[in-house]
A and B are shown apart, each in its own frame.
Chain A
């Protein structure tokens, strides 16, 4: 397992170098608007990413979606929810670590209470009793922690099987796996089936939860790849800002999305250009 992860890091670093170099080449220097647009899209290896996206789509259609369909057919939503809760609960230590690393005592306390309640009253995490008692679920990962520390996302990356990402989030995922207590325990005892099973079940659960959304999106989008790219970034930014710090009643963090390009203004990015 360790060996795999080291080679994964090496591959990521190599990929990062290739990506940075590729981004230097194909920029039209004379068109200011096109330049701004390209910077905003921030997807220098788009052809490669689209190729991987198509591969992932094929894999989904041939294997992942049919298996998820079977899973949805066999198990009623009560059981699927329990599995989701269980998987969510065993990942709590990693969420807690990231809460702490981000300097969020309030959320760290919330995460701790959730773990205590759900591991006991929630029957080993199968029931999410904590939410009913006012300790709502939230997600944190090391990619978000890096963002809070000021690390930029870098260029968009489509990872094989894993889907949309970027160098920051990919490294974050890796670190989360390295610090996970269950993975550490399994690694020490040579129980390779533990992380493998966990990854598989997590994947199944994620695909199950996205079932309707992806069905709708694929049907209605005219560029599915671009839609996913945009949604992934917006969702991550929302996660990073923790939905602007409060559940409700606060000004949403729209600075990065809609306010800069106000729809009330004429669609002009700059005065320069045709």
Chain B
């Protein structure tokens, strides 16, 4: 009995906490509103063009690539994920690396996206820090906890671009960076070691069948 009543007290407490967080609403500005609209329309676009059953794998890959290139700042991310080693490589190496990075990302995620079923993305508001907008969202699943996804978006030359996706607290670019830096370190600090590894991975990813 005491267990139940203590549970009830705690429940009432949690309800009041919940209400107070609802009252304090972050005020939005033009930048965060724009970022939120950008993510909403991207989700809609992806649903229409990628999750239809009638497209061939080749067509799917093409569409996926277009969406990736137009909505992600792949060059910025590619640069960031090799950290301090970016300054150590020549101009031509940089161009070659960025090309490989783009191929690697497309090869990795286009296949992963094929198995996905329709899921509604619920937007929960956007916050701003420095030059980034963080669009908070979640994907609801029946019978289990929703998955929290944060889209980190920047605005450059009047266009919104995604620079990170944080799923359940795990940042995409952060993970990619630890991997890339680890490969570079294990090849004696040479970025060429990473580029070799990327080339091999791209061949592997494009060759295996799902």
Contacts and interface: CB of A to CB of B under 8 A. Distances in A.
Interface of A: 33, 37, 41, 81, 105-106, 108-110, 112-113, 116, 128, 131-132, 136-137, 216, 219-223, 225-227, 229-231, 234-235, 237-239, 241, 243, 246-254, 257-259, 261-264, 266-269, 273-274
Q: Which 6 A/B pairs are nearest by Cβ-Cβ distance?
A: A109-B10, A238-B169, A226-B182, A230-B178, A248-B124, A263-B80
A234 B130 CA distance: 22
B168 interface: yes
A132 B85 CA distance: 49
Contacts of A248: 124-125, 136, 138, 148
A267 B86 contact: yes
Main secondary structure of the interface of B (DSSP, over half): helix
B175 A227 contact: yes
B21 A235 contact: no
B87 A234 contact: no
Nearest to B152: A258
Interface of B: 3-4, 6-7, 9-11, 13-14, 17, 21, 26, 76-77, 79-80, 82-88, 108, 112, 124-125, 127, 129-132, 134, 136, 138, 143-146, 148, 150, 152, 154, 163-164, 166, 168-171, 173-175, 177-183, 185-186, 194, 197-198, 201, 204-205, 208
A252 B150 contact: yes
Given A227-B178, A249-B21, A268-B87, A106 B145 contact: no
Nearest to B12: A109
B7 A116 contact: yes
Contacts of A263: 76-77, 79-80, 163-164, 173
A231 B175 contact: yes
A192 to B, nearest CB: 30
B130 A262 contact: yes
A229 B170 CA distance: 12
B179 A222 contact: yes
Nearest to A246: B21
B134 A220 contact: no
Contact of B6 (A112, A222, A223): A112
Contact of A243 (B6, B152, B169): B169
Contact of A267 (B87, B132, B183, B194): B87
Contact of B181 (A37, A239, A254, A274): A37
Contacts of B131: 262, 264
A251 B129 contact: yes
Nearest to B146: A247
